[in-house]
A and B are shown apart, each in its own frame.
Chain A
Amino acid sequence: MVTFNKKKFRFSDWLAEKVIKAVAFLSIAVVILIFIFVFREAFPIFRMDKKTAVSTETLVQESYGSEGTVNAVDKSADNQVDNSNKKQIATDKPSATLLSNTWMPVSDNPRFGLWPLFLGTLKVTLIALLFAAPISILAAIYTAMFAKPRIREVIKPVIELLAGFPSVVIGFFALMVMATVLQNIFGYASRLNAFVGGIAMGLAAIPIIYTLTEDALTAIPKTYIEASLGLGASRRQTAFYVILPAAVPGIFAAVVLGLGRIFGETMIALMATGNAAMISMNPFDSVRTLSATIGAEMAEVVFGDTHYNVLFLIGSLLFIFTFALNALAEFYFKNVVVRKYQSRK
């Protein structure tokens, strides 16, 4: 008997498959490496506490300055050289200042309060999202539902061109043009602020939200549209009462991914938000975002310094947040969409 389906072993084939598989693992490896190396540089901030805690004690004791405490210092301290070096060092533990209200990394008593940065990021993100989400979703509805096919063929690529604008160009436009125009319209005090930055970052998010929403809308089965139109509903009613509800999970995923883009946007934040870390609820005040803080300060810090570690800590937070957003958009929303259709078909 001759067996026809017996495969001949070929070394080149075997090797190719192994190599291709190994290379494909690179993407996973890179994500893991990013995790490890960004977190590794952030970690020392929590270990540093012990050392600085000693110096805090000696500082307090010496400031009361009686003979007894000097003796106590001599006895308690392991080596005096270390102590004398630490006299000028911060009176606060670096990690304890993380939750304070001031971000003053470069001073005699550096404070790494993250609240103003969180608040600033939140403010800008909210403004950007409130601007970008409605306009891009409505534009996507027009493109998918109302536009004639020939017009759609033009609109889609033109709006997607915006995705090709480098963020530094959008930032430059915001800094040079939008800031002045918006200030003339609204008449607020500081030229660069959360509002200008938010609108500019919204511009960066529009193509993402628009494209993904459009995809979600066109993915709805044609039979839905035909059934609705056949029952006598207008195109508007079909769009808003049939297509839109069915596409909600996809649109949510689009907004979430747009949010991720806004949250991590660095160059626009650096150029258009004014970069002042303060706690204020006024949308027309200058703000400093988390990502802009890394971008502005990393170049000037000492390698391995507390400030350096805190910036990596901010990076870790950004990474965790965008990672979680992506996982949410990927697993939760997509699964919801899939399940919905599988049960209806």
Chain B
Amino acid sequence: MNRNIKDTIVEGITGICVLMIIFIIVSILVITIIGGWPNLNWAFLSEFPREGMTKGGIFPAIVGTAIMTIIMAVAAVPFGVITAIYLAEYANEKSVIAKTIRFAVKTLAVVPSIIFGLFGLGFFIGFVGKNLDSLLSGGELRWAQPNILWASLTMALLTLPVVIVSVEEAIRTIPRDMREASLALGATKWQTIRKVVLPGSLSGILTGTILAVSRGAGEVAPILFTGAVYFSSHLPHSLSDQFMSLGYHIYIMSTQSSNVDATQPIQFATTLVLLLLTFSLNAVAVVLRYRIRKRAK
């Protein structure tokens, strides 16, 4: 009897921990929705900020985030997919090269995002941009300053491991028989990859892209000093323009705006927009991934 009571108590404690985590998740969601919903309307989504950021909408921040994540995905997805193909199809698991690449990918996944920001500043702006300037325009300042291109590329490095991991997982679920059938029919390895492996891992590529976009849309630290601005009166129309981003907007508005209280509804509504965006993207990715894993079984 004594043992049964103990069992119940311990199980209860662990169960409470689960409930606490879920409670926190739900309260973040509910409070953001309650705070942001009243202010969330079409005008808020489609207008520029007005009257010193205290009125108006977040249109440029939405567009800036969208452009940034698109450039980021264009840069990160091909490299991520190819690296995943290498790891799953070509690499010899025991070779030093494969192990080093794997370790490098894991390192990229755990390096703090602010370090990517520093790297973007030191490498893209201070090195690549500077040399581009002296090459293209004889030292006239154009690329050696924060802009949307450098911010996107910095973010692409951050999201590279996300793509690699999802794509590799999907490639590994493709049955061996299919590869062998293709090879037995006389197809070369590259043909097999193109005609069998890649089509089979499309859902994985999609999952990786979605997860990367969701991560990139939410991260702020890497773009703090590589391209994001507080306010811009126009949308970015070239790669060397700076841009507004949803996450940066939340950060600046809640910590450094001149009147934090007056702009609170805007802050909550912006947070709600960002949360809905990343949340729906993640939900799609979870469903896709669930289907991939089911196939694996």
Contact in complex: A318, B112 (CB < 8 Å): yes
- Given A13-B190, A20-B85, A155-B18; A28-B104 close (CB under 8 Å): yes
Interface segment out of the listed A44-52, A53-61, A84-92, A132-140: A132-140
B41 at the interface (CB under 8 A from A): no
Contact in complex: A38, B28 (CB < 8 Å): no
Name the residue of chain B whose CB is nearest to the CB of A30: B157
Complex interface residues of chain A between 270 and 319 (CB less than 8 A to chain B) = 270-271, 291, 294-295, 298-299, 303, 311-312, 315, 318-319
Which residues on B sit within 8 Å (CB–CB) of A135? Answer: 17, 20-21
Inter-chain CA distance A330–B247, complex, in Å, is: 32
Name the residue of chain B whose CB is nearest to the CB of A39: B122
Contact in complex: A13, B188 (CB < 8 Å): yes
Q: Which of A27, A146, A299, A326 has the most CB of B within 10 A?
A: A27
Interface segment out of the listed A74-82, A101-109, A256-264: A256-264
Contact in complex: A37, B11 (CB < 8 Å): no
Contact in complex: A257, B21 (CB < 8 Å): no
Give per-residue flags for B207-245: 1 if the beta carbon is below 8 A from chain A beta carbons, else 0.
000000010011111001100000000000000000000
Contact in complex: A330, B106 (CB < 8 Å): yes
Chain B min CB distance to A266 (Å): 4
Contact in complex: B115, A315 (CB < 8 Å): yes
A340 at the interface (CB under 8 A from B): no
Contact in complex: B106, A326 (CB < 8 Å): yes
Which residues on B sit within 8 Å (CB–CB) of A270? Answer: 251, 255
A176 at the interface (CB under 8 A from B): yes
Which residues on A sit within 8 Å (CB–CB) of B82? Answer: 19-20, 23-24
B6 at the interface (CB under 8 A from A): yes
B interface size (C-beta, 8 A): 86
Contact in complex: A30, B251 (CB < 8 Å): no
Tell which of A13, A142, A235 touches B15, judged by Cβ atoms closer than 8 Å: A142
Contact in complex: A38, B21 (CB < 8 Å): no
Inter-chain CA distance A312–B121, complex, in Å, is: 10
- Given A13-B188, A24-B101; A164-B274 close (CB under 8 Å): no
Chain A min CB distance to B9 (Å): 9
User: Which B residues lie at the A interface, using CB under 8 A?
Assistant: 3-4, 6-7, 10-11, 13-15, 17-18, 20-22, 24-25, 27-28, 31-32, 35, 79, 82-83, 85-87, 90-91, 100-101, 103-108, 110-119, 121-123, 126-127, 157, 160-161, 164, 188-191, 193, 214, 217-221, 224-225, 247-248, 250-251, 254-255, 264, 267-268, 271, 274-275, 278-279, 281-282, 286
Q: Can you give 16 A-B contacts (C-beta < 8 A)?
A: A12-B190, A41-B118, A136-B17, A136-B21, A143-B18, A162-B24, A164-B278, A168-B274, A169-B218, A234-B4, A235-B7, A295-B117, A298-B117, A298-B224, A326-B106, A326-B107
